[in-house]
Amino acid sequence: MRGKLAAGNWKMNGVAAELSEIEALAAAIGTPACEVLICPPATLINRMAAISGDSVKIGGQDCHAAASGAHTGDVSAAMLADAGASHVIVGHSERRADHGEDDAAVQAKALAALAAGLVAVVCVGETLEERETGRTLGVIATQLDGSVPDLASGDTIVVAYEPVWAIGTGLTPTLAQIGEVHDFIRANLEARLGAGVGGTIKLLYGGSVKPGNAAEIFAVSNVDGALVGGASLKAADFGAIVNALAAA
Ligand code: PGA
């Protein structure tokens, strides 16, 4: 059976003063009936992992595809693991847009994550223009085929569906639109990897998830959790989302 995962992406936010949010989060959620992950900036991973407790896992927001070498400013998956991370996000749309990462680059990062023993959270999602011109499912299929490695399993890969136009905008797709894409992703993964594997990969929805809309999103078929940006920065908000998922 698939588990559930509430993942927070702090993006380029957070210094040592915000570490108290992790202690508050741990207190707010107790021992929830779902996995909980926070991906802070790389500078906080080590300190956050030291205080996050058993219920909150820590992840990176990106990794380099190589294990080590002359790549100034980059961080490898092995370094994230060494700092205390269990997961890493790869292929977030902000990385794809800001750093020109294509599907092949994202897959290489996912493979590096697996090699370092990390779970890779692979992000896919259409732009507004792609949705408005009826290309959503085709775009998602291309991204899945190119970004998700053949080695994927339920223990090593999570897929996050994040419509680019819903990230940080307060806009969300309708529940029917979320369900359509999640069912499509599930069918795609099952067709490619076999039902035994494709059926075990957690699918997260991301894009303007808040305490007020979390429960209805978690009730949608094939939604196994969320990847949360802005609302993960405050323990009270993210704790409410975690508790909604645990109750779903
Ligand atoms: P948001 O970001 O929750 O602030 O929309 C989601 C994400 O980028 O993962």
Whether 200 shows a pLDDT value over 90: the answer reads yes
- The pLDDT assigned to 1 comes to 73
Residue with tokens 């996000």: 89
Total-model pTM: 0.98
Pocket test for ligand 1, best of 39, 209, 232 (most atoms within 8 A of CB): 209
- Could you report the per-residue pLDDT of 149-192, keeping only the tens digit for each? 999 999 999 999 999 999 999 999 999 999 999 999 999 999 99
What's the chain's Rg over C-alpha atoms?
Answer: 17
Main-chain phi, psi angles of 73, to 5 degrees: 90, -10
Work out which ligand 1 atom sits closest to the CA atom of 93. 8
| pLDDT tens figures, 46-77 | 999 999 989 999 999 999 999 999 999 999 99
Catalytic residue among 92, 94, 130, 182: 92
Tell me, in angstroms, the distance from the centre of ligand 1 to residue 69's CA: 31
Partners of 225 in the beta sheet?
A: 5
Q: If pLDDT is split at 50, 70 and 90, which confidence band does 109 have?
A: very high
Measure the CA–CA gap between 127 and 140, rounded to whole angstroms.
11
* 64 counts as catalytic: no
φ, ψ dihedrals at 11, nearest 5°: 55, -145
> pLDDT category, 231, cuts 50, 70, 90?
very high
